[in-house]
């Protein structure tokens, strides 16, 4: 089956199920209740002590594994994550699946609404409250990837090389390592790994992020679309 066909079936699916996948903004008051589950192992107040897990005050928008005086697992230390709305939500959905080898012995929060509430609550645990970044939705990401990237990239396994490389399995990999593609020296020497932050920055403005890249793509302004495409790319493994 042609990829475009698969895409149209998938995007039909997301049209049909779109109503369910829209991410409702969370309620911080409800989130505070959910956070009781976390408080068994984490303090949530400013300068709180390290318990079984690290203090989580003001954790959003911070790199993982950086709370002084806490001994993390190697998995967390080497994760390269930044705790934004998407990574935080992915982590608390299934901690051990999202960060393989983490020592956070918590099964995860199954209900999307509770995760949204929790995120809203964590967003209040800050010195300077800011609006949370958008949470990515993989189904919407298929649509956005078709619209913004498909002229130059295929996404399915073994997909054709167009003007840009096939992007299946690129998440978590080093940049410029997909076989059968002739990259720019700029990207080959970038030393980048395609994690959340790097992918988001690249999509936002390739030229600015990797000077000399041959990706003739002006960049995608919508943070929501970038988060959605990122969520989609993460499923391609």
Residue numbers at the binding site for ligand HEC (CB under 6 A): 37-38, 40-42, 52-54, 56, 59, 64-65, 67, 72-73, 75-76, 83, 91-92, 102-106, 109, 118, 148-149, 151-153, 163-165, 167, 170, 175-176, 178, 183-184, 186-187, 194, 199, 202-203, 213-217, 220, 229
Nearest-10 Cα torsion for 8, 13, 19, 25: -80
Q: What angle do CA 177, 181, 187 make, to 5 degrees?
A: 55
Beta bridge partners of 174: 193
Question: What are the b/e assignments for 145-169, b being 16+ CB within 10 Å?
Answer: bbebbbeebbbeeeeeeeebbbbbe
Q: What angle do CA 71, 77, 79 make, to 5 degrees?
A: 150
The least CB distance from residue 193 to ligand HEC, in Å, is 10
The least CB distance from residue 20 to ligand HEC, in Å, is 23
Cβ(150)–Cβ(166) below 8 Å: no
Nearer to ligand HEC, 116 or 176 (CB): 176
Nearer to ligand HEC, 129 or 191 (CB): 191
Nearer to ligand HEC, 16 or 235 (CB): 235
Nearer to ligand HEC, 13 or 105 (CB): 105
């Amino acid at each position: 089956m042609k990829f475009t066909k698969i895409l149209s079936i998938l995007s039909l699916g997301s049209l049909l199920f779109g109503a369910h996948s829209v991410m409702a903004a969370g309620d911080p008051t409800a989130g505070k209740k959910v956070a009781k589950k976390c408080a068994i192992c984490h303090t949530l107040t400013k300068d709180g002590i390290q318990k079984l897990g690290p203090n989580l005050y003001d954790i959003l928008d911070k790199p993982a594994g950086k709370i002084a005086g806490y001994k993390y697992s190697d998995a967390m230390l080497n994760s390269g994550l930044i705790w934004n709305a998407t990574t935080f939500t992915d982590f608390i959905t299934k901690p051990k699946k999202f960060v393989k080898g983490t020592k956070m012995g918590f099964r995860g929060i199954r209900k999307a609404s509770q995760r949204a509430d929790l995120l809203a609550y964590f967003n209040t645990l800050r010195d300077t409250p800011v609006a949370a970044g958008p949470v990515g939705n993989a189904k919407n990401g298929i649509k956005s990837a078709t619209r913004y990237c498909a002229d130059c990239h295929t996404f399915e396994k073994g997909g054709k090389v167009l003007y840009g490389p096939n992007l299946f399995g690129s998440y978590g990999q080093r940049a410029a390592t997909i076989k059968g593609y002739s990259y720019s020296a700029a990207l080959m020497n970038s030393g980048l790994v395609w994690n959340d932050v790097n992918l988001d920055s690249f999509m936002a403005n390739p030229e600015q992020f990797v000077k000399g890249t041959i990706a003739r793509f002006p960049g995608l302004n919508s943070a929501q679309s970038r988060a959605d495409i990122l969520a989609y790319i993460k499923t391609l493994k």
